[in-house]
Amino acid sequence: MRTSTKPLITTPIKQVMKHFVTLLTCIFLFYGTVAWGECLKGDCVNGEGIFVNSDGGRYEGTFRNSSPDGPFIVTWPDGRKFSGNFSAGIKQGKWTQAFADGSSCDCVYENDKAVMGACKWKNGDRYEGELKNDKMDGSGVYDYASGSKYVGSFKDGKRTGHGLYTLKSGVKYEGEFADGQITNGSITWLNGDSYNGDMKDGKMDGRGVLQRANGEKFEGDFADGKKNGYGTLYLVNGARYEGGFKDDKKDGAGIETTPDGRRLQILYQDGKLVSGQK
């Protein structure tokens, strides 16, 4: 059975991050003393009040020394609604954030910075994990609406470090990620085939080992998901071929070892035997 070389990333990471950054506005407005705006009701200096900022943001809660201090509800004309706690103008603890398009994000703040989050987008994608600078950073889980799932490390909003990416089909990619893409690790297919080695754009690329479920094995060079370069192909009957490959076909000079141990010097071109001798 031919092993699929379908790219790993079914949802482009740039698209994912654009979506994520658009939603995760975990830092917003109030820093220290209330300045631009108007106190509509109550005491916005030391007491309960409603303050409307210059951008239309409506802050309702307790003020101390002109700064938000305690539980607050913040709403905007565009439909956003945030609720959580301030301490001397600094966001602390859990903040629940809802958006007009149905997206939502629950963030945990420490000293005005979001450190954890559980977010859901209108398309059904979900993320739960660590945050830094309002991006996925640290350990987390990203569930795609398509049914795929990534569990592992993030850096600056991208899959970076060790992780496990499982497609809806059940195919698994596990290893080291950089800039959103897996660079080295393993692929496990449902038919029992497996690969371990270098990768690029979700495909076998570089040095690696491809193990077939039927016992056949290839060790060598890959490019664009295919055997390209030099390698050794081990057949189930005990024979093996050492030599060049091009687009999964034997190509160039090589040595074939028969099941009974004979070594043959041969030459292939585009998978076809050109010459050979004992």
Q: What is the pLDDT of residue 268?
A: 94
pLDDT tens per residue, range 233-266: 999 999 999 999 999 999 999 999 999 999 999 9
Mean pLDDT of the region 111-121: 95
Q: What is the pLDDT of residue 277?
A: 60
Which secondary-structure segment (H or E) carries 21?
helix 13-23
Is the model's pLDDT at 155 over the cut of 50? Answer: yes
Is the model's pLDDT at 134 over the cut of 90? Answer: no
Measure CA of the first residue to CA of the last residue in the chain; give whole Å.
32
DSSP structural state of residue 170: S
Backbone angles phi, psi at 256, to 5 degrees: -105, 135
- By DSSP bridging, strand 226-234 and strand 58-64 are unpaired
Mean pLDDT of the region 91-118: 95
DSSP structural state of residue 238: S
Is the model's pLDDT at 82 over the cut of 90? Answer: yes
Which residues does 90 contact at the CB level (< 8 Å), separation at least 6? 111, 112
Q: What is the pTM of this model?
A: 0.81
Q: What is the pLDDT of residue 275?
A: 86
Burial, 33: exposed, middle or buried (Cβ in 10 Å; 0-12, 13-18, 19+)? exposed
pLDDT tens per residue, range 42-59: 999 999 999 998 889 999
Backbone angles phi, psi at 15, to 5 degrees: -65, -40
Q: What is the rounded CA–CA span in Å between residue 68 and residue 249? A: 69
Predicted confidence band of residue 28 (pLDDT cuts 50, 70, 90): very low
Find out whether 116 and 26 touch, Cβ atoms under 8 Å.
no
Q: Which residues pair with 82 in a beta bridge?
A: 74, 97
Nearest to 83 by CA among 104, 67, 64, 111: 104
Is the model's pLDDT at 176 over the cut of 60? Answer: yes
Q: What is the rounded CA–CA span in Å between residue 2 and residue 212? A: 9
Count the helices and strands in the chain (H runs, E runs): 1, 22
Would you list the domain boundaries of the chain? 215-278
Average pLDDT value over all residues in the chain: 88
Q: What is the pLDDT of residue 226?
A: 98
